[in-house]
Structure 1
Amino acid sequence: MVMAQLLDQWGRPVQLNKLREEQAAPSLASVRQVVGGHPAQGLTPARLTGLLRDAEQGDAIAYLELAEEMEEKDLHYLSVLGTRKRAVAQLEITVESASDDKVDVDNADLVRDWLRREELEDELFDILDAIGKGFSVTEIIWETSARQWWPALLKRRDQRWFEFDREDGETLYLRGPGELEALRPFKYIQHVSKAKSGIPIRGGIARAAAWAYLFKNYDLKDWVTYIEVHGQPLRVGKYHTGATEADKEVLLRAVANIGSDAAAIIPQNMLIEFVEAAKQGGATDLYEKLADWLDRQVSKAVLGQTLTTEVSSGSLAAAKVHEDVRRDIMRSDARQLAATINRDLVRPLIDLNRGPQENYPRIVIGLPSNIDMKQYAEAVGQLVDRGMKVEQSVVRDKLGLPEPEPDADLLTPPGQAAPEALPSFHSARPARVARHSADQIDRLVDEVSGEWEEVIGPMVAPVRELLADAGSLEEARDRLAELIATMDTSALEDVLLRAGFPARLAGRLEVELGRRNRT
């Protein structure tokens, strides 16, 4: 295959000469600048409605900037959103080969090698920024220093630098100096996370949480104002009847200084009194109750429940149900993320290094398996003994064991010598080896059957004559021993020698195949 004609997952031609270039790098001289606006300042219901409407009509810059500020200014939203993203980014990742063919196993090992990168968890965390904003874009930085295409870095790109097609609302374009640019094939991981059905820009958690953020912001401002007015005792300064204007100014400064510096001096004939503010528990609790209620709504939107984030009364059964809901959301996020990585990274990695394949390996992101590995291995062994066909790659992936190298030292059962190298076994699928062994044995039987009469006939004829002439059993026994001692067996020995080697080899292959299937 000519690599210049390589097509991506959507059928677009891949330009290999541009894969090493960064297409979406930031620049002060372009529209892709790191510094952005702050729409959260002075946010009102009318402004929020406007920027949400602009986002769904194609101009999402203000909405995306608001989503960023919400994480910076609302600690509860930052906490629950970060919890959801980190829970998925730290999950176990396994690779399943397409089959037991050597080509498919090698392709899976290539993906496993890439997954060992230490930066992967942080990169997955950035990709999961789509949970809050609806989508995320990560540029793949390819390198070819090792004579192969390798994703050296996955760079997060600011969502503000991209724009959805205004006709379908799903196709992404890169903002350029004058016009929108198409994203280069095999260069980006485009992840979409949907809190609800609809176009990607309306599927992020931030869109729903923005209203809770707005009302909570109003609540906190009023709460702080109330505390400033009623949280400290009222300071009252009293001056005598004949006090001058200068005396009044001295007293006023003293009252003000006590509030800020907790110290002041006044003339001896003046007085400052502290009047405690009225304790109105209902009014002060109102602000806190509203803030807590809004936080619980955000927890439900992000995590699907509240018992894992707030301490409240509830039964153990209720807490278990809430934890199950959170795990369901985690599994959904993990499946969506795995599908994106398989589409936008696994396939390009294989195609660039091995060429297009009929089947591709796939990564699986999920919770660690709780099965007992010993019980699993014993159960698989019993099923194989009963005739069930099980792919070795499935068992290896389940146990987290890589395919052994041809020259690797292999573990063997106690008391059994390590098997000698059998190239034909390692280079072919086990099922094909089994069929080949059976064919060899059948061919051997046919060959021996064809030579049997020719080889055995001259040896059997003298025995038949001896038995016909002998007068008694004792005479036949004595003469048979003499006949066998002088019999020519060279032809039979030659046939048995030629048949023994392939029969032994086929038998060893069968034994080796059965042993490896059981392990």
Structure 2
Amino acid sequence: MTPKKQDLIKVIASRAHAIDYWSFMHYLPNPDPVLKKMGKDISAYREILSDSHVGGCVRRRKAAIKGLEWRLTPTGNEKTDEILTALFDRLPISQIINQILDATLFGYQALEVMWESKDGLFLPVAVEGKPQEWFVFDEENRLMLRTKEHYNGDLVPEKKFLLATQQADYMNPYGRADLAMCFWAATFKKGGFKFWLEFMEKYGSPWLVGKHPRQAQTHEIDELLDSMEAMLGTAVAAIPDDSSISMLESASKGASSQVFDDFLRYCKSEIAIALLGQNQTTEAEANRASATAGLEVTRDIRDDDASLVEGVFNQLLTWICELNFNVETLPTFELFEQESIDKLQAERDKILTEMGVGFTEQYIQRTYGFEDGDIVMQVEKSAVKNTAEFAEPIPKSVIETIGEQLEVEGETHVENWLQGVRDQLGQAESLEDFRTQLDSLIPELSFAEYGKLLAWGSTAAQFAGRQSVEDERK
């Protein structure tokens, strides 16, 4: 059957035609399962941010992004690039990034852009995140603002609100909130902490036992109890001659206390997994390797958060260019880790240069963040060289040189692994215990940076081998 052109163009599968969708309101409710079961709005997640462990993980996760460097790619127009660079230097980038990353916690985050017309240009002067409770989505997944005049929401103006979402799709435009994954763990942790305090109050101090004569009246017994209760705070009590108070030490409740301790640790572990992607602890009894790993956010989560931030800023840059500039290449906002680019990248480029590989000025600027005019490319001294000079461009010891550099660069990674093994050996009670701990340590070791180093060394060696073959042919 030949498809009709109008069927190819229009949307057929939509909420308006779905058999399982009925609209009783003018906006889509948030399908978050935790909020639906509790019958609350998204403000319930904001309450658990006061938890010390949740708040610490959130700060650590945001710091992983705010610690990155940022830059704007050129548009090809020098004047436009200068205006955009000056604009972003004025904006509080760190504060804006902090607000954008709230989308990872709540699923979505709307940011209002404050525009200003100055010198013939329409530029943003502020970008402010607004509460999630103020915004909803319509049946076409468009952002709407709820106001007193429009309680069910009204479509927001174009180029006025930036929208950051995490894993949003057609079924759920509100995105997926990471706080939903740790909500119950944080809630039960708070409740477990309360029971733990009651347990310590009950069994942590000696019990006072008052003895009164069998024929004592009720009011006399109450007076003795009052004296004992006051004695807990003052250690002083007045009692009749025929009454006595003794202290009774509680039996060992270590096993019961350990249950509460294990429960709280489990809750902390679940919170860390939800927000940081790993459950390495920073407690006092942790070894150096696991404590160091616990301070880091897994790279895949950090990269996803960075892509989220870049997407929001790129949308803002697109609006700025549409309102003010006519450029062939739209600028982009990029986050990068300066140190990871500089050292290993420079070592690899140095090896390739020694092998005779040349780099363009554009490559140097793009890779190392230089701008036009920052560097001057040196012209090769002689374009006329004899055949003998061209016949041996690669020293015979280039492979040895690569091996020596790999040994120096990889020493840090190997030392970190060995330190983790030493820590496990110091904590082990026996060789059998050390073997068990060593098996659990292996999954904690990170080989990513070491593998990248070996990959670059392998690439350089491959280039050297190819050049050597070419030399032999000559």
Shared fold per TM-score greater than 0.5: yes
**What amino acid is aligned across from residue 95 of structure 1 in structure 2?**
L
Partner of 1:368: 338
Task: Specify the SS of the correspondent of 2:174.
Answer: helix
Displaced runs of 4 or more, over 6 A: 195-198, 318-325, 385-388, 410-414
Distance verdict in 2 for CA 1:381–1:228, change over 3 Å: closer
**What amino acid is aligned across from residue 92 of structure 1 in structure 2?**
E
> How many Å apart are 1:257 and its aligned residue?
0.8
Q: Is the 8 A contact 1:70 1:213 kept in 2?
A: yes
2:225 equivalent among 239, 248, 252: 252
2:45 equivalent among 67, 72, 76: 67
Q: Is the 8 A contact 1:196 1:203 kept in 2?
A: no
RMSD: 3.6
Partner of 2:205: 232
TM (normalized to structure 1)? 0.58
CA–CA distance in structure 1, aligned partners of residues 170 and 275 of structure 2: 16
Distance verdict in 2 for CA 1:107–1:376, change over 3 Å: farther
**What amino acid is aligned across from residue 66 of structure 1 in structure 2?**
A
Partner of 1:124: 97
Partner of 2:321: 350
Partner of 2:371: 402
Task: Specify the SS of the correspondent of 1:218.
Answer: helix
> How many Å apart are 1:187 and its aligned residue?
1.3
**What amino acid is aligned across from residue 209 of structure 2 in structure 1?**
V
CA–CA distance in structure 2, aligned partners of residues 280 and 205 of structure 1: 37
Q: Percent identity?
A: 23
CA–CA distance in structure 2, aligned partners of residues 154 and 327 of structure 1: 27
Partner of 1:58: none
Partner of 1:502: none
Distance verdict in 2 for CA 1:231–1:93, change over 3 Å: same
Partner of 1:328: 300
Partner of 2:264: 291
Task: Specify the SS of the correspondent of 2:275.
Answer: helix
CA–CA distance in structure 1, aligned partners of residues 136 and 322 of structure 2: 28
Alpha-carbon displacement from aligned partner over 1:263-302 (angstroms, at most 9, x marks no partner):
3333444321121222221111101101101211111121
Alignment of 1:405-444 (within 5 A): none
Q: Is the 8 A contact 1:107 1:360 kept in 2?
A: no
Partner of 2:142: 171
Q: Is the 8 A contact 1:109 1:402 kept in 2?
A: no
Partner of 1:111: 84
Partner of 1:51: 35
Partner of 1:339: 311
Task: Specify the SS of the correspondent of 1:284.
Answer: helix
> How many Å apart are 1:350 and its aligned residue?
2.1
How many residues matched? 343
Task: Specify the SS of the correspondent of 1:149.
Answer: strand
Partner of 1:185: 158
Q: Name which one, 1 or 2, has greater alpha-carbon Rg.
A: 1
**What amino acid is aligned across from residue 74 of structure 2 in structure 1?**
S
CA–CA distance in structure 1, aligned partners of residues 145 and 163 of structure 2: 12
1:135 equivalent among 108, 115, 124: 108
CA–CA distance in structure 2, aligned partners of residues 49 and 260 of structure 1: 47
CA–CA distance in structure 2, aligned partners of residues 325 and 197 of structure 1: 29
**What amino acid is aligned across from residue 274 of structure 1 in structure 2?**
M
CA–CA distance in structure 2, aligned partners of residues 232 and 53 of structure 1: 41
Q: Is the 8 A contact 1:338 1:364 kept in 2?
A: yes
> How many Å apart are 1:259 and its aligned residue?
2.4
**What amino acid is aligned across from residue 97 of structure 2 in structure 1?**
L
Distance verdict in 2 for CA 1:198–1:304, change over 3 Å: farther
Distance verdict in 2 for CA 1:252–1:378, change over 3 Å: closer
